[in-house]
Amino acid sequence: MALYLPIAEMSVNIFVLLGMGAAVGFLSGMFGVGGGFLITPLLIFYNIPPAVAVATGANQVVASSVSGVLSHFKRGTVDIKLGFMLLIGGIVGSSIGVWVFSLLRTLGQLDLIVSVLYVVFLGTVGGLMMLESVRAMMRSRAGGSVSLRRPGAHMWIHKLPFKMRFKASKLYVSVIPVLGLGTMIGVLASIMGVGGGFIMVPAMIYLLKVPTNVVIGTSLFQIIFVAAYTTVVHATTNRTVDVVLALLLMMGSVVGAQYGAKVGQRLRGEQLRALLAGLVLLVALRLGYALFVVPDEIYSVSREFLL
């Protein structure tokens, strides 16, 4: 069934998009991630203009994060204070990011930069995760216990001033890395159309030493607001949020996520991480390949430019 997207200005198949949402939702439920990093590249592969894909991806992330955070609130695995501090950084970062996004668009480099950022971040995160999970699998086979948290291993980050106490996370750290991390994620969120969970979660675990059980809930909590803010800013400055497209993706992903979560509970942590890493690497490879392959058409026409 064909549907006309009012902002992307193209006809799409309604079932393809619902299916795309459901597939990403399934995976995000299974792995406990927002899925923005899968939605945006998939939309680009489906010929949605990258500017629309990014802004609409941010909107979809709001829905999947709201859906995800509710169960974390119920279990009390959200550090609201930490989430709030990350959020302050996130708002600043998102504002910078949207500005950069507009600039890149007028320079004609947006599509390239979005692809490059995806390749770099997905490649790095996917590669590290793959290494870590393979090692963990080997260790657990050898009979050792697997723990992501290594308390006591203090780094330079923990020597910075302006320390703050985060009770739910049992942390006493400087706000500088917290705000810095939030800002960085905010910039990425607005340029890449992602929630940033795939960077936020490892960064919180390895850099801030946040306990694993509150990491996902806290990350989701702050992503909701950063993604919501990013959506509004994209809507007002670039006018590239396609609400019809977003609605289709949201409906698909929210349903898919419920089934994904059930499957995820049956898999073991290391296996799950290895699978996710494989998926992330696959998306990175596909996007990277497109950068090097000779394009069919070297000319393009655009309305966005600076005189």
**Site for another protein, rule CB under 8 A:** 2-4, 6-7, 9-11, 59-60, 62-67, 70-71, 108-109, 112, 116, 228, 231-236, 239, 241, 243-244, 246-247, 250-251, 254-255, 257-258, 291-295, 297-305, 307
Looking at beta carbons only, is 159 or 303 nearer to another protein? 303
Provide, rounded to whole angstroms, the least separation between the CB of residue 252 and another protein: 10
Looking at beta carbons only, is 129 or 226 nearer to another protein? 226
Looking at beta carbons only, is 56 or 169 nearer to another protein? 56
Provide, rounded to whole angstroms, the least separation between the CB of residue 128 and another protein: 24
Nearest of 240, 189, 182 to residue 61 by alpha carbon = 189
Tokens, residue 93: 């970062």
292 CB-near residues (< 8 Å, 6+ apart): none
Provide, rounded to whole angstroms, the least separation between the CB of residue 109 and another protein: 6
Looking at beta carbons only, is 56 or 218 nearer to another protein? 56
Provide, rounded to whole angstroms, the least separation between the CB of residue 251 and another protein: 6
Quick one: angle between helices 243-266 and 36-45, nearest 10?
130
Looking at beta carbons only, is 61 or 276 nearer to another protein? 61
Provide, rounded to whole angstroms, the least separation between the CB of residue 307 and another protein: 6
Please report, for residues 66, 184, 186, 219, the alpha-carbon distance to residue 105 in angstroms, rounded to integers and kept in the order given. 30, 20, 18, 29
Q: Identify whether the C-beta of residue 153 lies closer than 8 Å to the C-beta of residue 207.
A: no
Tokens, residue 40: 């945006």
Q: How crowded is residue 237: how many other Cβ atoms within 10 Å of its Cβ? A: 14
157 CB-near residues (< 8 Å, 6+ apart): 173, 174, 177, 207, 208
Looking at beta carbons only, is 166 or 229 nearer to another protein? 229
Q: Give the β-pairing of 163-166 and 2-5.
A: unpaired
Q: How far is Cα 19 from Cα 21, in angstroms, rounded to an integer? A: 5
Provide, rounded to whole angstroms, the least separation between the CB of residue 117 and another protein: 13
Q: Identify whether the C-beta of residue 252 lies closer than 8 Å to the C-beta of residue 19.
A: yes
Provide, rounded to whole angstroms, the least separation between the CB of residue 295 and another protein: 5
Looking at beta carbons only, is 203 or 216 nearer to another protein? 216
